Amino acid sequence: MQHETGATGVSDVSLVGHEYEVEVGPVAHGGHCVARTDSGRVLFVRHTLPGERVIARVTEGESTSRFLRADAVEILQPSKDRVEAPCPFSGPGKCGGCDWQHAKPGAQRRLKGEVVAEQLQRLAGLTPEEAGWDGTVVPAEGDKLPAGEVPAWRTRVQYAIDAEGHAGLRKHRSHEVQPIDHCMIAAPGVSELGIEKREWPQIATVEAIAASGSADRQVILTPKPGGRLPIVELDKPVSVLRIGEKDKQIHRVHGRPFVRERADDRTYRVGEGGFWQVHPKAADTLVKAVMQGLMPRKGDMALDLYCGVGLFAGALGERVGDKGAVLGIESGKRAVEDARHNLQDLDRVRIEQGKVESVLPRTGIKEADIIVLDPPRAGAGKQTVRHLASLGARRIAYVACDPAALARDLKYFAEEGYKPVTLRAFDLFPMTHHVECVAILKPTGNRV
């Protein structure tokens, strides 16, 4: 085992490959736990659990780095929450797609809850009680499985293709490809295409999409520079699209350029690899949580920001009635076309294209009754939060795929006189560190 002695104080000496025996501390945001060496150097360690004693091998970092990244390559004292990873491609130096294959399902959800609580406290100054949260992370329907079993939930998988033309998944924080013959978290509709069984010469990536609301299947191919598109013959009928080498746009090769998804008793067209929740139960789960939180009334003026193909706008449009109105704002051109198509039967719904921070001020809207926002991973930001608070909505639903972004924005909302009254967390990405949250905010009594 290599030790730290002599490494500190030396300028930019790589510590990759150094090993440290450490006691593992708490979980941190990002799928790893925090540990410290005898000299106090911080390690972010993957493939371990809080309370374990492990040999951690450095994977990234130099003698001058603020922290080092490492893998637990030997477990000296295992946690009671540890299981043998069901997937043969999970582990140090292997596939980077999953973070918690080595943890019991209940332990995974507890770890995610600890991350959400830590981010709320550190970035928003909120305890779970102050956020209206009971501290639990709820599994999706059908996902509560015994230890050692893996839910097959991922309806969209992007395979990387190695130099020999074999399909695989990228290693953690790397462009290197781990060839696989099966992804355990891939939904049955993805697995049945047989992507891993065939070779993909001249192709860089293959994205496979299996709609959960229909039998639609789609693959999106990215050829290598100068590469030719192969004739695609898979195990099930499938539409084929490709990414253009020069324009980086998606082009139809054959079949439908969209898949059909279903949520809240509506069918949604999702075109050209556009955004839709990856877990089959996610769209319905989130719509239910948002509608329960907002409690729309007939005649409400509602906003759906970062609206994608219109999931929440459709649900709101059904509930606000003929005298209500819904405005959706989305930056993606194709998503806007899909949203307008999906909601064409609801003349009370209008969809505008552009960035929320640019379009919303131009609309001239001075007030709204209810608002839902589902921003990208970076969050909405202070400027947008300030604008939303000025509209005086009685309730705001914030859907977040990143607890850090949620916590930052909750702090901004607090500064503008809004506080969370309920927060719910859902485990819609089992085996990974990702967690989805829905916060419902109301104005405080001391709004300026």
Q: Would residue 51 be called left, alpha or beta, if left means φ above 0 and alpha means ψ between -120 and 50 degrees?
A: left
CA gap 33, 74 in Å, rounded: 15
The answer to whether 186 and 154 are in contact (CB under 8 A) is yes
Structure tokens at 368: 């709204």
To the nearest 5 percent, what fractions of the chain are helix, strand and coil?
20, 30, 50
Nearest 10 degrees: Cα torsion 233, 239, 245, 246 = 150
Q: Which of 87, 95, 98, 401 is catalytic?
A: 401
Pairing of strands 217-223, 239-243: parallel
Give the distance from CA 210 to its chain's centroid. Answer: 17
Q: What are phi and psi of 122, to 5 degrees?
A: -75, -40
CA gap 181, 165 in Å, rounded: 13
The answer to whether 358 and 381 are in contact (CB under 8 A) is no
Burial-class residue 297 by CB neighbours within 10 Å (0-12, 13-18, 19+): middle
What three-state secondary structure class fits 421?
strand
Q: Is 401 a catalytic residue?
A: yes
Q: How far is CA 178 from CA 140, 148, 167, in A?
A: 28, 22, 8
Neighbours of 212 (CB within 10 A): 22
Q: How far is CA 333 from CA 81, 123, 239, 272, 340, in A?
A: 46, 33, 21, 11, 11
Q: Would residue 192 be called left, alpha or beta, if left means φ above 0 and alpha means ψ between -120 and 50 degrees?
A: alpha
The residue to which tokens 């500190």 are assigned: 8
CA gap 269, 262 in Å, rounded: 9
The answer to whether 283 and 261 are in contact (CB under 8 A) is yes
Structure tokens at 426: 């859902």
The residue to which tokens 């198509």 are assigned: 341
Nearest 10 degrees: Cα torsion 67, 405, 132, 140 = -90
Q: How far is CA 2 from CA 17, 44, 93, in A?
A: 8, 18, 19
What residues act catalytically? 401
